[in-house]
Amino acid sequence: MKYEHIHGMQIPKVGFGTWTIGGRDAPDPGLDSVSRAALRSALELGYTHFDTAEYYAGGHAEELLGEAIREMGVRREDLFITTKVSPEHLHYEDVLTACDRSLRRLGVETIDLYLIHWANPRIKLAESFRALNQLVREGKVRHLGVSNFKLKLLKESVALSETPLLTNQVPYRLPEKDYAENGVVEYCQQNDILVTAYSPVKFRNLNVNATLKAMAAAHNATSFQVAMAWLIAQPRVITIPMSFNPAHQRENLEAMNLELTASEMEQLSNLYSR
């Protein structure tokens, strides 16, 4: 396992995302069985960072994650749990209420990392952070972060957070490099903030790209593993892929073992350049 060491912690370079676990924007009971199986296999394989949100399946993803942790008998202190507050809940009292609900659904006393899922232009960021800072002071949350924030809002968040902002969770992957081009990735790397790249292999055409296919063959890996290895080789970048398939879950973890050369990293960084 490879880690990012930051603020006295070690956080795995590869975690497990839970978008579509238990449903999409509302619970889907038809997905419960496969969702429980996916979470169990991820825990069995050794994933320790789990990322979820109150929005995912209307909170049901949090419930299923909490159930899986208890059923598998995994020690709470061995896990790093991230969840998020939705943009419609960013008023002061709403943030506090949303956090309490997430804690109940997860069945934990403390959330390791609590993020603003998306900014809400109708609610002042200062009001939201007043509540988030209060949650840290109360011990309900250990660390704060944001998601989908561009540079201006990210800098504002850093100034408003009473504790070091831990992450900005953004869509960053081959070929989507908007957050590298808009300065967010560089700012995070220069200011000790993790970039949490979500949906790291969403672009299915990666599998037919000639450069990726050649690198994959050279490393006895898949094109998706090469794309993930490019991400996690970058300083202060972690990722949270999701799969219902235990074999794919294992492949995602094994991408950490793939060592790309400086030349390969440069090739991939220039791939899909506009």
Residue 58 lies in a domain: yes
Could you read off the pLDDT of 180-196 as tens digits, one per residue?
999 999 999 999 999 99
Residue 257 lies in a domain: no
CATH number of the domain residue 60 falls in: 3.20.20.100
The percent of residues above 90 in pLDDT, for the chain, comes to: 93
pLDDT of residue 271: 87
CA distance linking residue 180 with residue 170, whole number of Å: 10
Residue 220 lies in a domain: no
Residue 185 lies in a domain: yes
Residue 270 lies in a domain: no
Residue 223 lies in a domain: no
Could you read off the pLDDT of 147-164 as tens digits, one per residue?
999 999 999 999 999 999
Residue 214 lies in a domain: no
CA distance linking residue 198 with residue 217, whole number of Å: 25
Q: Which residues are catalytic?
A: 56
pLDDT of residue 204: 66
Count of domains observed in the chain: 1
CA distance linking residue 7 with residue 26, whole number of Å: 35
Residue 158 lies in a domain: yes
CA distance linking residue 236 with residue 140, whole number of Å: 25
Structural domain span for residue 195: 3-202+235-245
274 has pLDDT over 70 = no
CA distance linking residue 14 with residue 1, whole number of Å: 8
Report pTM. Answer: 0.97
